[in-house]
Amino acid sequence: MNSWRTCLLLAALAACSTLSAATRLRLNELAAASAVIAGTQSTENDRPLIGILSQPGSPAPKGSSYIAASYVKFVESAGARVVPIKYDAPREEIEARVGKVNGLLLPGGSAPITPGHLFYDTVSFLVNLTIAANDAGEYFPLHGTCLGLEALAIVIASGSRVLEHYNSDDFPSALLLTPDAKGSRFFDGMPPGVVASLQASPIAMENHQQGLSAAAVDKHPKLKDFFKVTSLATDRDGGVYVSSMEARDYPITATQWHPEKNAFEFAAHLHIPHSPAAVEVTHAVAMFFVGEARKNGRAPANQAELDDLMIYNWPPTFTGRHSW
Ligand SMILES: *[C@@H]1O[C@H](CO)[C@@H](O)[C@H](O)[C@H]1NC(C)=O
């Protein structure tokens, strides 16, 4: 198929005798380039799957769990597809699903993140699977957003209460990059213009009542060994908290802020940034995270298994309709 495509291109070039010599030369170069690309096998996984953890609580009915559509659109916008990981599924089923995906996303929300609660224990299980996969020589990324960052902090601190109260409900903020942001996989993985606008204007959507102080990371040996803090932000009262962090030795990243909301959530009562620069943040973070997942080679055994795993089996529900 590649060779007939090239033939068609060459035939078209032959018919272009009225073009200038320079244009013909450029077309010849392009034809040669597409022939090279057609013959090159990409070493990256161009069909990445992301497992997204569900959680209990509103707007899910009692006994059910939910994944906010914005997280699904977020990873889909970067060329990945989603496999839901139900927080209350049996461990064997969770492990089997994780074995078919190329990375894990822990979304924001308000599920309980106290040891002993099933949701927290599932996060701990997912973090353990991630660490074990990387220790075994695989590249298997995990990203936590908001509640995901908070849960990650507690899990790595072995269940210690490391969080503090912050006044950052509905408070979009600018990021203050720390010296450790130099060499950060996360910030180096985004276009410099996006990183510059994240620092220059309040386009990181912050919406949390708890957070992690840099002092808490410093104080807790396990946290300090595991994570480096790459950015800080301030709440309404001037309280400073960790807004981005990443593992030193693992492809594990986390943001207290919500990259997915800028492009994909429009709650009327929230001040989610929707400017073009803010929407670029959504895409840049999605491209970074899915890019990490492209380095992993796991895959379902066949198309039927893939069909069964995908979130397309659960139709979306519009839960945001306004009532007056
Ligand atoms: C994850 O690993 C830690 C450390 O080995 C362990 O204490 C914890 O119980 C594990 N979590 C789960 C859910 O198995």
Q: What is the mean pLDDT of the chain?
A: 92
In a domain, 140, yes or no: yes
Element (H, E) at 143: strand 142-145
146 assigned to active site = yes
pLDDT digits (tens, 9 = 90+) for 154-211: 999 999 999 999 999 999 999 999 999 999 999 999 999 999 999 999 999 999 999 9
From 143, 146, 208, 283, active-site residue = 146
3-state class of 208 per DSSP?
strand
CA distances from 150 to 110, 238, 317 (A): 11, 20, 27
In a domain, 31, yes or no: no
CB atoms within 10 A of CB 27: 16
Instruction: Please spell the DSSP secondary structure of 60-74, one letter per residue.
Output: SPTT--B--HHHHHH
Ligand 1: centre distance to CA 136 (Å)? 17
Per-residue pLDDT band for 2 (boundaries 50, 70, 90) equals very low
In a domain, 5, yes or no: no
Q: What is the Cα–Cα distance from 180 to 209, expressed in whole angstroms?
A: 25
CA distances from 91 to 23, 25, 61, 83, 85 (A): 61, 60, 23, 16, 11
Residue whose Cα lies nearest atom 1 of ligand 1: it is 128
- Mean pLDDT of all residues in 264-284: 97
pTM above 0.95, yes or no: no
Ligand 1: centre distance to CA 151 (Å)? 13
pLDDT digits (tens, 9 = 90+) for 85-127: 999 999 999 999 999 999 999 999 999 999 999 999 999 999 9
Pocket of ligand 1 contains residue 128 by CB under 6 Å:
yes
Where residue 254 sits, what CATH number does that domain have?
3.40.50.880
Model pLDDT, residue 323: 78
Q: Is the pLDDT of residue 14 over 60?
A: no
Angle at 152 between CA 267 and CA 270, to 5 degrees: 10
In a domain, 21, yes or no: no
Number of domains forming the structure of the chain: 1
In a domain, 106, yes or no: yes
Q: What is the Cα–Cα distance from 125 to 258, expressed in whole angstroms?
A: 23
258 assigned to active site = yes
Ligand 1: centre distance to CA 158 (Å)? 8
Structural domain that includes position 252 = 49-313
Ligand 1: centre distance to CA 123 (Å)? 10
Residue whose Cα lies nearest atom 3 of ligand 1: it is 128
Residue whose Cα lies nearest atom 13 of ligand 1: it is 125
pLDDT digits (tens, 9 = 90+) for 295-304: 999 999 999 9
In a domain, 274, yes or no: yes
Report how far apart the first and last C-alpha atoms of the chain are (Å, whole number).
58
Taking only Cα atoms into account, the Rg of the chain, rounded to an integer number of angstroms, comes to 22
Q: Is the pLDDT of residue 32 over 90?
A: no
From 143, 220, 258, 283, active-site residue = 258
pLDDT digits (tens, 9 = 90+) for 241-271: 999 999 999 999 999 999 999 999 999 899 9
In a domain, 117, yes or no: yes
In a domain, 255, yes or no: yes
